[in-house]
Amino acid sequence: MKKRRLVIRTIILLILGAAVAYTLYANFTKDDIKKVVVGEQAPDFVLVDLNGEEHRLSDYKGQGVFLNFWGTYCKPCEKEMPYMDNQYKQFKDKGVQTLAVNVGESELSVSKFADRHNLTFPIVIDKDGQVQTAYKIGALPATFMIDKDGKVVKYHTGQLTEEMIKELMEQVQP
Amino acid sequence: MKHVKCECGHVNPHGTILCEACGRVLQESEKEKQLVDMRYEGSARRSQTYNKTIVDKVWNFFSSVKVGVWLIVITLIASALGTIFPQEMYIPPIMPAAEYYEDQYGWIGKLYYDLGFHNLYSSWWYLVLIASIGISLVICSLDRVIPLWRALKAQRVSRHEGFLKRQRVFGVSEASNLDESYEKVKERLKAKRYNIREEDGNILAEKGRFSRWGPYVNHIGLIIFLIGGMLRFVPGMYIDEVLWVREGETKVIPETDGQYYLKNNKFILEVYDKDKDNQAFSEAIEEKGMVAKNYQSNVTLYKKKGETVAGQPPELEKVKDYPIKVNEPLKFEGYALYQVSYKLDELSKMTFTLGNKKSNESFGEVKIDLNDPKDRYDLGNGYAVEVVSYFPDFEFDDSGEPVTKSKVPNNPAFVFKMITPDKKEGEISFVAIQQTIEPFGDNEYKMNFSGIDTKNVSSITVRKDLTLWLIAFGGLIFMIGVAQGSYWNHRRIWIRRVNDEVWIAGHTNKNWHGLKREIQAVLEDTGIKEPEDQMQKEENKE
Amino acid sequence: MVSLSGNLLFASFILYLIATVFFAGSIKDKKGKLKEKGPNKWAKIAIFITIIGFISQLGYFITRWIVAGHAPVSNMFEFGTFFALSLVGAFIVLYYMYKTPLLGVFTLPVALLLIAFSSMFSRDISPLIPALQSHWLYIHVTTAALGQAILGMSFAAGLIYLVKAIDQSKPSKRTFWLETIMFGLICTLGFVLVTTTFSLLDYKAEFNWIDKNGQQLKQEYTMPAITGPNEGELLTAGKFEPLVEMPGIINAKKLNTVVWSLLSGTIIYLLFRLIIRKRVGAVLQPVVKNIKLDLVDEIGYRSVLIGFPVFTLGALIFAMIWAQIAWTRFWGWDPKEVWALITFLFYAAFLHLRLSKGWHGEKSAWLAVVGFVIIMFNFVAVNLVIAGLHSYAG
């Protein structure tokens, strides 16, 4: 009888405690919830680059992808662009593709920007925001590293140094 | 476990104050009192009788109503603290919160921010407080409802004299002709919807027992409500997104897996017109200047047909046209779209004419779509304008270079190259709103500003809340429980024959006035004396 | 129609005033014939006048509704008068339940103060902004006001209890706090008198001042400035120069009104004490001599029991339903919402203390008084001082 009471009380308290613990945990991590989770498949997309060429993420299966979201008005994006370009030239033949997704600015702004910085990697424009919505893009720049199986390996917001870009690319090199 | 056996033969749990069956006072300390304490029927609350292991101690802590009341009071004070200054979500986003509070409210504001009160209601300790109230609700209820239920079920008709004597409403009466008046009393009690039980010529009339369950029902409602609030943290249960759509623009609705699209056809802002609207409003309108009457976005909801990959132009199928107004959200498949904000007259197109500065002669018009400018506009006859650079939201940066702050055309600026038959190389001109700079010396030609097109932008909140039904259900149960406990009374009248006397005692969990009036009506003209309110008797003695 | 509506409100105000006198008279009269059961002639006349007043105020409410095209519960004036209407309604019901004229002596003055206080704010019929254009406006506001009014009855009962139960023969903490409540009521009266006086005198003084963001603004005072605005410069000739200048963070104009109310309240109170030479509580004590304490206690408790569910339904449940429709979420921690929650928590604590801890009688009466202070705080301070989504009600 006494034992049963103890067991029942323990169970009830454990359930209540677990519920509270979960709520607290969820409350603290709620800002970290991302649409695209590391370790999961990156959402596929198709966008057209400045030369009119179509880029489909799933076509790069077997290669690593350096996927960067940026805008011309974003200073840190502008700073990391030359590094990206350097590393793109290094890695494009080693199986790591670079895709820079502009967050829906006018083609004029984007192409002038690309000319000014002599960017050689493919730049695509997400005109109607579909891809940004799918990747839940907030702050820029945002970089996703996708491996040869199309899985997200790493996610980074904020400016990257050339060293970091190199390391990231090495990570997804097939 | 020790049991307490009453003289009447009923076996009570340890800690019982009044025998569950006959009401005899079992605890010595209670015998001293003039009136018995009828809370929880004098039953044994288990929490108070066992206190051995840690589990018991924790349990007992939360089982105490005193602790519960303290939790309520602390939550109350904490909630009040959060209203001294606006919470972070209500401050204008003009500067970081850390600076804002100090800037607006001085050192108190800074203290307020440093203590974390700017986000009080989502702080861990506020959540812990609410959670503790939840735990207290569960344990307090469990600890009381079971003994109470036992005691009410076990109660016998014939109650011990000591029990009757110590009731607040009690009276002894000598009555002749008892049998006749007994029948009368029983009939009247029945007419008043009492349940009547008889035993050895004693009567227990009882009604409204279910009101005793009211508090526990409303606690269950509150617990359901809290569970609903907890579910909100489960991913996918609650969606809160904002969507800005320009007039004429079609955008994918966030969190719908790219399945739904929204087109903004028109945004409408109406204000009250003192001449056209209700004449009664004219004074108020005059005093306040402008009063908004309607915010409305006429939208079309589309569903994507077939499977496409993000970025591909989707094939859209119209679902419906709908005017979203404040108080009238557009609902579909568990989602609701609300009109929450707007931006009037965002620039969408700018028109310039290419002209000669001296002769004022004009060579054609250039209309630039600010969201998608072309790089060259041909005007014919050898005249053309090239856009060398475009800054939709222009400002000069620290080094004096023109840059753009965002992609929104709030303050567009251009670097034009004006190509004319006499200046085939072109003249460069930097043109922003109300300013023209000619970086390479005086030009002969000029881009004359001639007009703008604007568009409104609607801000729509995308909401999905799968916890609503549970929250609503909890609220409903709570209301039922509160009404049950507040608007009904549990009344009992004991009538017992002791020798030639009739002993009458009455108890109610509230509204003694009503009980007394009822007893008075029942006993009228029966020869049985109306029992007295022993509390008032005491008071009158004073 | 607008003037008819105003006249009906005015008539009800006068009627409540007369009824109060009659209720007070009914208590005096009772001394001689203690044995007489039920209310006497005075009380019968008093409740009759009260009901006529109630009907008249109902007439104000209905006519104003017809003119405006929406229920008149959308600003400070309208809400306050509706609150008074509910209070009188609740009183009439309780009067017939308990047959206690004394309750009228304490309830009707509160209703009178509420009407007078509310009338100091803009009485214009204002059009509804989009967020308010919903049937939930009157479902939510009227139910909440009704709940608060019923809870307010427990304040009246609690006050009677305290006036009777507190020993006035020597000063104590209890007499002090009772006097504080009386002083609070007198300050409300002071506010009404001062505002009316200066509005009859048509006092207007304009100031140039610098706000906390360093911007120069204009402000019009309708009372002589005791507390002047930051770097204020009096523009209207011949008006009172401020005594103290306030920093930009503080709203000097509102503070000025508060200072005036406190000042006038203090003067009235001190005059009273000087002339009568007794505490207000002591003066009232003979009035409540014949009431039974446990009956008042029960009236107070029942008011809470009846009012609590109504309040919860109106101020929380209906509020949440409407907030979900109008503001996309049912709860947003807006100050008014939080204070409704605080009121709810307070009365929940009240009920638990009473049921489980046996807080009857005087403790319960004190709690009822504090509860009403919270309700009033939510009505006055949250509207006027703490800005939020509900602040258009001001």
DSSP symbol at A49 = B
* Percent of chain B topping pLDDT 70: 97
The verdict on residue B276 lying in a domain is yes
* Chain A residues with CB-CB distance to B309 below 8 A: 44-46, 56, 58
Q: With an 8 Å Cβ cutoff, are A44 and B407 in contact?
A: no
* Chain B residues with CB-CB distance to A45 below 8 A: 309-311
Check if A4 contacts B (Cβ < 8 Å).
no
Contacting chains of A (3 CB pairs or more, <8 Å) are B
Say yes or no: B334 and B368 in one domain. no
pLDDT tens sequence across B405-451:
888 888 899 989 888 888 888 888 888 888 888 888 788 888 888 88
Cβ proximity of A105 and A24 under 8 Å: no
Q: With an 8 Å Cβ cutoff, are B482 and C2 in contact?
A: no
pLDDT for res C392: 45
The verdict on residue B454 lying in a domain is no
Question: Distance (Å) from the C-alpha of residue B214 to the closest C-alpha of chain C?
Answer: 12
> Which residue has better confidence, C16 or B178?
C16
Which residue in chain A has the smallest CA separation from B314?
A130
Q: With an 8 Å Cβ cutoff, are C349 and B461 in contact?
A: no
Question: How many angstroms separate the Cα of B250 from the Cα of each of B111, B261, B405, B407?
Answer: 46, 7, 24, 17
Domain count for chain B? 6
Which residues, other chains included, contact C80 with Cβ-Cβ below 8 Å and sequence gap of 6+?
A: C114, C115, C117, C118, C121, C379
Say yes or no: B198 and B275 in one domain. no
The mean pLDDT value for B150-174 works out to: 88
Q: Which of B281, B295, B487 sits opposite C130 (nearest CB)?
A: B295
pLDDT for res C393: 41
* 3-state class (DSSP) for residue B157: coil
CB atoms within 10 A of CB C286: 12
- Which has the closest alpha carbon to B65: B152, B148, B151, B143? B143
> Which residue has better confidence, A25 or B92?
A25
Q: Work out the mean pLDDT of chain B and round it to a whole number.
A: 88
Cβ proximity of B430 and B402 under 8 Å: yes
Tell whether the model's pLDDT for residue B476 goes beyond 70: yes
Which residue type is seen at B445? Y
In chain C, domain spans = 2-168+278-393, 169-277
Distance of CA C138 to the CA centre of its chain: 20
Say yes or no: B133 and B195 in one domain. no
The mean pLDDT value for A103-127 works out to: 89
Tell whether the model's pLDDT for residue B41 goes beyond 50: yes
Say yes or no: B328 and B368 in one domain. no
B–C contact: 3+ Cβ pairs < 8 A: yes
> Which residue has better confidence, B454 or B499?
B454
The verdict on residue B194 lying in a domain is yes
Q: Which residues of chain C have pLDDT under 50?
A: 30-36, 388-389, 391-394
pLDDT tens sequence across B213-224:
999 999 999 999
Q: With an 8 Å Cβ cutoff, are B309 and A46 in contact?
A: yes
The mean pLDDT value for B398-403 works out to: 83
pLDDT for res C2: 81
Helices marked H in B361-511 — which ranges? 468-487
Say yes or no: B72 and B117 in one domain. yes
Say yes or no: B365 and B440 in one domain. yes
Q: With an 8 Å Cβ cutoff, are A129 and B252 in contact?
A: yes
Q: With an 8 Å Cβ cutoff, are B329 and C308 in contact?
A: no
Question: How many angstroms separate the Cα of B281 from the Cα of each of C36, C66, C125, C379, C391?
Answer: 54, 13, 6, 24, 19
Say yes or no: B64 and B149 in one domain. yes
* Chain B residues with CB-CB distance to C133 below 8 A: 326-327
The mean pLDDT value for B490-494 works out to: 94
Tell whether the model's pLDDT for residue B280 goes beyond 50: yes
- Asked if the peptide bond before residue B13 counts as cis, ω within 30 degrees of 0, the response is no
Q: With an 8 Å Cβ cutoff, are C388 and B86 in contact?
A: yes
The verdict on residue B39 lying in a domain is no
Task: Convert chain C into a string of H (helix), E (strand) and C (coil).
Answer: CHHHHHHHHHHHHHHHHHHHHHHHHHHHHHCCCCCCCCCCHHHHHHHHHHHHHHHHHHHHHHHHHHHHCCCCCCCHHHHHHHHHHHHHHHHHHHHHHHCCHHHHHHHHHHHHHHHHHHHCCCCCCCCCCHHHCCCHHHHHHHHHHHHHHHHHHHHHHHHHHHHHHCCCCCCCHHHHHHHHHHHHHHHHHHHHHHHHHHHHCCCCEEEEEECCCCCEEEEEECCCCCEECCCCEECCCCCCCCCEECCCCCCHHHHHHHHHHHHHHHHHHHHHHHHHCCCHHHHHHHHHCCCCHHHHHHHHHHHHHHHHHHHHHHHHHHHHHHHHHHCCCCCCCCHHHHHHHHHHHHHHHHHHHHHHHCCCHHHHHHHHHHHHHHHHHHHHHHHHCCCCHHHHHC
Helices marked H in B37-88 — which ranges? 54-63, 65-81
A–B contact: 3+ Cβ pairs < 8 A: yes
Q: Work out the mean pLDDT of chain A and round it to a whole number.
A: 86
Q: With an 8 Å Cβ cutoff, are B251 and A128 in contact?
A: yes
Question: How many angstroms separate the Cα of C156 from the Cα of each of A62, B219, C104, C166?
Answer: 80, 29, 9, 15
* Chain B residues with CB-CB distance to A77 below 8 A: none
Question: Distance (Å) from the C-alpha of residue A73 to the closest C-alpha of chain B?
Answer: 5
pLDDT tens sequence across B328-363:
999 999 899 999 999 998 888 999 988 888 888 888
- In our burial notation (b when 16+ CB lie closer than 10 A, e otherwise), range B209-222 reads eebbbbbbbbbbbb
In sequence order, the β-bridge partners of residue B136 are none
Question: Distance (Å) from the C-alpha of residue B501 to the closest C-alpha of chain A?
Answer: 45
Question: Distance (Å) from the C-alpha of residue B311 to the closest C-alpha of chain A?
Answer: 5
Question: Distance (Å) from the C-alpha of residue B32 to the closest C-alpha of chain A?
Answer: 32
Strands B362-369, C205-210: pairing is unpaired
What ipTM does the predicted assembly reach?
0.90
Check if B106 contacts C (Cβ < 8 Å).
yes
The verdict on residue B40 lying in a domain is no
**Which structural domain range is residue B473 located in?**
213-234+466-486
The mean pLDDT value for B15-21 works out to: 86
Say yes or no: B52 and B149 in one domain. yes
Question: How many angstroms separate the Cα of B329 from the Cα of each of A44, B247, C113?
Answer: 32, 18, 41
pLDDT for res B141: 92
Say yes or no: B65 and B82 in one domain. yes
Which residues, other chains included, contact B72 with Cβ-Cβ below 8 Å and sequence gap of 6+?
A: B133, C345, C348, C349, C352
C–A contact: 3+ Cβ pairs < 8 A: no
Question: Distance (Å) from the C-alpha of residue B303 to the closest C-alpha of chain C?
Answer: 23
Tell whether the model's pLDDT for residue A121 goes beyond 70: yes
pLDDT for res C32: 47
* Percent of chain B topping pLDDT 90: 35
pLDDT for res C286: 87
Rounded to 5 degrees, what angle do the CA atoms C79, C84, C90 make? 125
pLDDT for res A32: 60
pLDDT for res C268: 94
The mean pLDDT value for B98-115 works out to: 86
Cβ proximity of B83 and C333 under 8 Å: no
pLDDT tens sequence across B305-333:
888 888 888 888 999 999 999 999 999 99
Q: With an 8 Å Cβ cutoff, are C68 and B280 in contact?
A: yes
Say yes or no: B360 and B425 in one domain. yes
Q: Work out the mean pLDDT of chain C and round it to a whole number.
A: 89
* Chain B residues with CB-CB distance to A24 below 8 A: 124, 127-128, 131
Say yes or no: B271 and B338 in one domain. yes
Question: Using only C-alpha atoms, what is the Rg of chain B?
Answer: 40
